[in-house]
Structure 1
Amino acid sequence: MTFSTELSSLQGPALQQGFAELCERADSVQETLLLDLVRRNADSRFGREHGFERIASVDDFRRQVPLRDWNGIEPYVTALVEGEADVLTQGQPVSRFVMTSGTTGKPKLIPANEATQTANGVTMALRLLGVLRDHPEVLQGDILALANAPVAGQTAQGIPYGSASGMTMTRAPAELQRRFAYPPAVLEIKDPASRVYAMLRFALERDLTLAIGNNPLNFTQLFDQLPVQAEAFIADIASGTVSTPTPLPADLRRRLEDELQPNPARAAELRALEALTARSVWPNLRLIVCWKTGLMGRFLADLAERCPPGTIFREYGYGASEGLLTIPMSDETSAGVLAIHSLFFEFLPEETPQTPDAPTLLAHELEVGQRYQLILTSAAGLYRYCLGDLIEVTGFQGRAPLVMFLRKVGDVLNLLGEKLDARQVAMAMESAQRASGTTIRHFQWVADEASLSYELCIEPAATADEVVWRRLVESFDRELRTLSYGYDLRRGNGTFEPPRLRLMRAGWLEALSQRGGYQAKPKIVGYQLAEPDLTEGFVSPTDPATEA
């Protein structure tokens, strides 16, 4: 029996206590978890190729199995997709693939089996228990949970693939599923606009107290549809129908409308409102659980403006398609304790190159305040897999570290050694908005390798004149120089000219989000501007001679 299966038999405070006890001996828990995985999978193809039968310790595992990124694991996954058995695991068939975007644009299919789904279920239960411990009042109302379809299709061998968010929703405890604001059939709607419409149409008849979904930008875009489609929502609620922008298959529409009754009273309440907004239609919305860490925090202020006063934002938790990685501990922090029952973790110091034989640290060996690259080994056969994420350690629970996601390892611009990372750029923009009195809906800091220059691209939240925009870009440039010695050095000696400002048309952020799907996280740094056709105009920099 694994740690995850043991924990899955517990509920409520007993589950929290069981996990806390594991944290007290995190080092031995992690070693036991790893050696159990190695033993179980010794006769898989990967296990035979890497001498699993000779592994008796963590150090043996490190010597036998090199670090690898997706390119190193993809051939094994391709074999699984094509139907080969026991490629990465032995006697634990892939039950589904989690579909996620790849760096080349080709979707990645991450293998999952019953063991990984059980482990993720325990992690999600621990997250929800923390929410209910700190906010029991949310059980007085209903829950809006944002997700994509758990099954988007099947491989040629009949193995389903779909979103991690959809699977998490379908495996939620029954008492929570009864409070979900819309039926699971809504996730079967393929057209994104129609799926959003149906989510809102059902939710408008519910008294929401809690909303859950990883990306805060999705909530903002969802709530913005309320006034746009107000008349259609009200008409549907009055008649007990679902009139999506794109017609639904007859059977799906019938199943959805079987959940509904005409509700003229609620329609009249909504019609009497000055405008349909999240504030007006869900005045009891108390808590939104979403990403606050990394670069997602820049969307929270925009979202808060749409929510009832006093709405609390709590960290959803650090995770990826490969697994749920942390359990947040409170509203006040984005850090969470590592899910040591679920995955085996290794770490590389921030500046250490990801070579196959790079020496790694274990979870209990990390230091508070230090940054590390995360490497994981999962029950579905991702062995020593470099996730490409940078995390920071903020503390410990027992011997298990509390970590916070910072950024992708590749979110660094480096034309001439200045090494500007996305967090520095985000901090500079936050300061620049305060200094200039402007609000930006989205921005991107773009490095041009041909001209060795930088450009700041923005989608404003409101109109302003050129003087204001010049003040913004100058404030941004000045703040970035204080945050990065390398950038300041090259600006000061004239290697880099003052950055130009590019104004983007309204809808740029939405276009970027639609390119990446439900879990899209539009980047704020890059070497190529996304959607350049949406350029509105430019603001030239001031005379370089006037620069400090």
Structure 2
Amino acid sequence: MGVRSLLSKPFARYVVSQQNKWVKNPGHYQRQIFKYLIDNARHTKFGKDHGFSDIAAYDDFKRQVPVGDYELIKPYIELVKKGEKDVLWKGVPIYFSKTSGTTSGIKYIPITRESISNHINTARNALLNYIHETGNSKFVDGKLIFLSGSPELDETSGIPTGRLSGIVNHHVPDYLRGNQMPGYKTNCIEDWEEKLEKIIAETLDQNMTLISGIPPWVQMYFDRIHDKTGKKIKDVFPGFSLFVYGGVNFEPYKAKLFDSIGKVIDSVETYPASEGFIAFQDSQKEEGLLLNLNSGIFFEFIPADEYFSDNPRRLSIEEVELGVNYAVILNNNAGLWGYSLGDTVKFVSKQPYRLLVTGRIKHFISAFGEHVIGEEVEKAMKYAMQEHKEVDLMEFTVAPQVTPVEGLPLHEWYVEFNNEPTDLIAFEKTLNLQLQKLNTYYDDLISGSILRELKVIKLQKDAFRNYMKAQGKLGGQNKVPRLSNDRKIASGLTPFIIND
């Protein structure tokens, strides 16, 4: 056992003991954070515009601060970009995390001296919780790979600007820096395919023990290694024992990924975003991700079925219920206020508060009022794959077809298979019946002959990869939306359809 591995265990024990203080009294810690945020932003431009000096309680805040997405704070961000201070938070940000938005174009998310620890320490704590629970710390002594964006940063009015994963790269602790793969120069390569080849060249003969990244891109890494060596990943990296991921539901990728590895290994799920590190898997035994309730973020939740109404309820952590789909709203020490993250979550535990990410508030299909969400299509796919065990898939997305050439409207499932169903019609029927069980509105539309049963559209190998490349979003932290309410993605995938 190496020095890092040896020292990590008492450190993990300490961090978990500190964590348990807020886990056992979440409401108290959230109220403290709320007060801290209001007190520290009273004299900012946003605070003055929204009467922070008059806010004494959460109800006051809800009356004075509206909920909105990036468009709500964009005018303030523009002032920060022009060099103004004390706009959303005291002083100026130390970074802008640059990310693409569907309606707002490029988004510049502020990261401050106070908020950077949320991103760095939470990633660390996810691993320390794993070490504390399992006792497995050996991976800390080996090489660790994080498939991420470039750490090269631009400047916006003197503020370093880049992708979140690139920014975080600059804050990897010194005791792990020597273990980190790939090297800085390789990480700076923008072209994903060129970068992947360099990563493989650097890591192939290394003792890789932890690999982290979005599952479809890690799968590509594994596939390329297999193409070069003809071996399973366990034979290339015998010490590989922990997979860390986030950004997408792991279930559709799990079987293929573990098959590529050649064995089942432990995994830790994280829920990071440019706006804040929201939650992380704190247990290998319990379902869900632990909500990060003591890290500079005051959380609000809006029931998803009320989100688009005129006066939706805004709930604090103590008011949420189990099994309800909520939109996540952030207020934090980076200067985000009433900020709708765009994600939906569902709590599976309140002691402690653990959640599942169920989808995106704007990513749904409701062309006929069915409001099918990401969680439902993923559950239906998982069930169908369990029933049709030969099926192995790479990726899929779902879109409505409102005006088919013939017949009733339907949902079209665009699927890239690694191994196709032996009976596609039976597979479609299983998918459809399971989705009917999961969504009563969809069931009513099928039963009432408003919609016809879904259709699976098979795509060529590397279809999603080529689609993402055409969109300029290959690799890194980019991912394909699981479903949409329009035909934009479906149209982009049309050239890759297999015509039997």
TM-score, length of structure 2 as denominator length: 0.88
Q: Following TM superposition, by how much is the alpha carbon of 1:106 offset from its aligned partner in structure 2, in angstroms?
A: 2.0
Q: Following TM superposition, by how much is the alpha carbon of 1:406 offset from its aligned partner in structure 2, in angstroms?
A: 1.3
Q: Following TM superposition, by how much is the alpha carbon of 1:19 offset from its aligned partner in structure 2, in angstroms?
A: 2.3
Q: What SS is found at the alignment partner of 1:361? A: coil
Aligned partners of 1:283 and 1:308 also within 8 Å? no
**Is the alpha carbon distance of 1:420 and 1:371 closer, same or farther for their aligned partners in structure 2, counting shifts above 3 Å?**
closer
Tell me which residue corresponds to 1:281.
Answer: 236
**Is the alpha carbon distance of 1:202 and 1:345 closer, same or farther for their aligned partners in structure 2, counting shifts above 3 Å?**
same
Q: Residues of 1 paired with 2:218 and 2:466: CA distance?
A: 16
**Is the alpha carbon distance of 1:355 and 1:42 closer, same or farther for their aligned partners in structure 2, counting shifts above 3 Å?**
farther
Q: What SS is found at the alignment partner of 1:99? A: strand
Q: Residues of 2 paired with 1:356 and 1:519: CA distance?
A: 34
Aligned partners of 2:12 and 2:131 also within 8 Å? no
**Is the alpha carbon distance of 1:530 and 1:130 closer, same or farther for their aligned partners in structure 2, counting shifts above 3 Å?**
farther
**Is the alpha carbon distance of 1:432 and 1:11 closer, same or farther for their aligned partners in structure 2, counting shifts above 3 Å?**
closer
Q: Residues of 2 paired with 1:306 and 1:530: CA distance?
A: 31
**Is the alpha carbon distance of 1:31 and 1:352 closer, same or farther for their aligned partners in structure 2, counting shifts above 3 Å?**
same
Letter in 1 for 2:233: A
Q: Following TM superposition, by how much is the alpha carbon of 1:392 offset from its aligned partner in structure 2, in angstroms?
A: 1.3
Tell me which residue corresponds to 1:331.
Answer: 284
Aligned partners of 1:500 and 1:538 also within 8 Å? no
Tell me which residue corresponds to 2:3.
Answer: none
| Partner of residue 472 from structure 1, selected from 401, 408, 427 | 427
| Stretches of 4+ aligned residues off by more than 4 angstroms | 354-357
Q: Deviations over 1:216-249 (max 9, x none)?
A: 1111011222244x3xxxxxxxxxxxxxxxxxxx
| Partner of residue 430 from structure 1, selected from 382, 386, 404 | 382
Q: Following TM superposition, by how much is the alpha carbon of 1:11 offset from its aligned partner in structure 2, in angstroms?
A: 5.1
Tell me which residue corresponds to 2:492.
Answer: 531
Tell me which residue corresponds to 1:367.
Answer: 321
**Is the alpha carbon distance of 1:152 and 1:530 closer, same or farther for their aligned partners in structure 2, counting shifts above 3 Å?**
farther
Q: Residues of 2 paired with 1:419 and 1:356: CA distance?
A: 18
Letter in 2 for 1:18: Q
Count of aligned residue pairs for this structure pair: 477
**Is the alpha carbon distance of 1:166 and 1:62 closer, same or farther for their aligned partners in structure 2, counting shifts above 3 Å?**
same
Aligned partners of 1:138 and 1:286 also within 8 Å? yes
Q: Residues of 1 paired with 2:31 and 2:150: CA distance?
A: 36
Aligned partners of 2:435 and 2:442 also within 8 Å? yes
Tell me which residue corresponds to 2:5.
Answer: none
Q: Deviations over 1:74-132 (max 9, x none)?
A: 221122223222211122x1111112221137221111111110232222221121132
Q: What SS is found at the alignment partner of 1:494? A: coil
**Is the alpha carbon distance of 1:536 and 1:327 closer, same or farther for their aligned partners in structure 2, counting shifts above 3 Å?**
closer
Tell me which residue corresponds to 1:340.
Answer: 293
Q: Following TM superposition, by how much is the alpha carbon of 1:45 offset from its aligned partner in structure 2, in angstroms?
A: 1.0
Name the larger-Rg structure: 1
Q: Residues of 1 paired with 2:75 and 2:154: CA distance?
A: 21
Letter in 2 for 1:147: S
**Is the alpha carbon distance of 1:129 and 1:501 closer, same or farther for their aligned partners in structure 2, counting shifts above 3 Å?**
closer
Tell me which residue corresponds to 2:22.
Answer: 22
**Is the alpha carbon distance of 1:478 and 1:299 closer, same or farther for their aligned partners in structure 2, counting shifts above 3 Å?**
same
**Is the alpha carbon distance of 1:530 and 1:302 closer, same or farther for their aligned partners in structure 2, counting shifts above 3 Å?**
farther
Tell me which residue corresponds to 1:509.
Answer: 464
Question: Is it true that 1:75 corresponds to 2:75 in the alignment?
Answer: yes
Q: Following TM superposition, by how much is the alpha carbon of 1:382 offset from its aligned partner in structure 2, in angstroms?
A: 0.5
Tell me which residue corresponds to 1:223.
Answer: 222
| Partner of residue 456 from structure 1, selected from 384, 395, 413 | 413
Q: What SS is found at the alignment partner of 1:519? A: coil
Q: Residues of 2 paired with 1:537 and 1:217: CA distance?
A: 21
320-329 or 511-520, larger mean C-alpha shift? 511-520
Q: Residues of 1 paired with 2:226 and 2:23: CA distance?
A: 47
Question: Is it true that 1:420 corresponds to 2:372 in the alignment?
Answer: yes
**Is the alpha carbon distance of 1:204 and 1:375 closer, same or farther for their aligned partners in structure 2, counting shifts above 3 Å?**
same
Q: Residues of 2 paired with 1:390 and 1:55: CA distance?
A: 28
Q: Following TM superposition, by how much is the alpha carbon of 1:334 offset from its aligned partner in structure 2, in angstroms?
A: 5.4
Aligned partners of 2:396 and 2:415 also within 8 Å? yes
Aligned partners of 1:143 and 1:210 also within 8 Å? yes
Q: Following TM superposition, by how much is the alpha carbon of 1:172 offset from its aligned partner in structure 2, in angstroms?
A: 2.5
Correspondences of 1:72-151 after superposition (within 5 Å): 72-91=72-91, 93-104=92-103, 106-133=105-132, 134=134, 135-151=136-152
Aligned partners of 2:70 and 2:104 also within 8 Å? no
Q: Following TM superposition, by how much is the alpha carbon of 1:37 offset from its aligned partner in structure 2, in angstroms?
A: 1.8
**Is the alpha carbon distance of 1:75 and 1:11 closer, same or farther for their aligned partners in structure 2, counting shifts above 3 Å?**
farther
Tell me which residue corresponds to 1:250.
Answer: none
Tell me which residue corresponds to 2:438.
Answer: 483
Aligned partners of 1:212 and 1:288 also within 8 Å? yes
**Is the alpha carbon distance of 1:223 and 1:537 closer, same or farther for their aligned partners in structure 2, counting shifts above 3 Å?**
closer
Q: Following TM superposition, by how much is the alpha carbon of 1:277 offset from its aligned partner in structure 2, in angstroms?
A: 4.5
Aligned partners of 2:12 and 2:129 also within 8 Å? no
Aligned partners of 2:298 and 2:332 also within 8 Å? yes
Q: Residues of 2 paired with 1:126 and 1:473: CA distance?
A: 42
Question: Is it true that 1:442 corresponds to 2:399 in the alignment?
Answer: no
Q: Following TM superposition, by how much is the alpha carbon of 1:140 offset from its aligned partner in structure 2, in angstroms?
A: 4.0
Q: Residues of 1 paired with 2:47 and 2:197: CA distance?
A: 48
**Is the alpha carbon distance of 1:473 and 1:20 closer, same or farther for their aligned partners in structure 2, counting shifts above 3 Å?**
same
Q: Deviations over 1:285-323 (max 9, x none)?
A: 1111113x86342112111111142322222x2221101
Q: What SS is found at the alignment partner of 1:389? A: strand
Letter in 1 for 2:429: E
**Is the alpha carbon distance of 1:483 and 1:206 closer, same or farther for their aligned partners in structure 2, counting shifts above 3 Å?**
same
Tell me which residue corresponds to 2:258.
Answer: 304
Q: What SS is found at the alignment partner of 1:101? A: strand
Q: Residues of 1 paired with 2:64 and 2:142: CA distance?
A: 52
Aligned partners of 1:490 and 1:496 also within 8 Å? yes
**Is the alpha carbon distance of 1:295 and 1:57 closer, same or farther for their aligned partners in structure 2, counting shifts above 3 Å?**
same
Q: Following TM superposition, by how much is the alpha carbon of 1:384 offset from its aligned partner in structure 2, in angstroms?
A: 1.2
Aligned partners of 2:290 and 2:353 also within 8 Å? yes
Correspondences of 1:378-417 after superposition (within 5 Å): 378-397=332-351, 401-417=353-369
511-520 or 109-118, larger mean C-alpha shift? 511-520
Identical aligned pairs, as a percentage?
23
Aligned partners of 1:295 and 1:407 also within 8 Å? no
Q: Following TM superposition, by how much is the alpha carbon of 1:161 offset from its aligned partner in structure 2, in angstroms?
A: 1.5
Aligned partners of 2:97 and 2:167 also within 8 Å? no
Aligned partners of 1:164 and 1:321 also within 8 Å? yes
Q: What SS is found at the alignment partner of 1:107? A: strand
Q: Following TM superposition, by how much is the alpha carbon of 1:21 offset from its aligned partner in structure 2, in angstroms?
A: 1.2
Aligned partners of 1:349 and 1:371 also within 8 Å? yes
Q: What 5-or-longer segments of structure 2 have no aligned partner? A: 1-9
**Is the alpha carbon distance of 1:394 and 1:491 closer, same or farther for their aligned partners in structure 2, counting shifts above 3 Å?**
closer
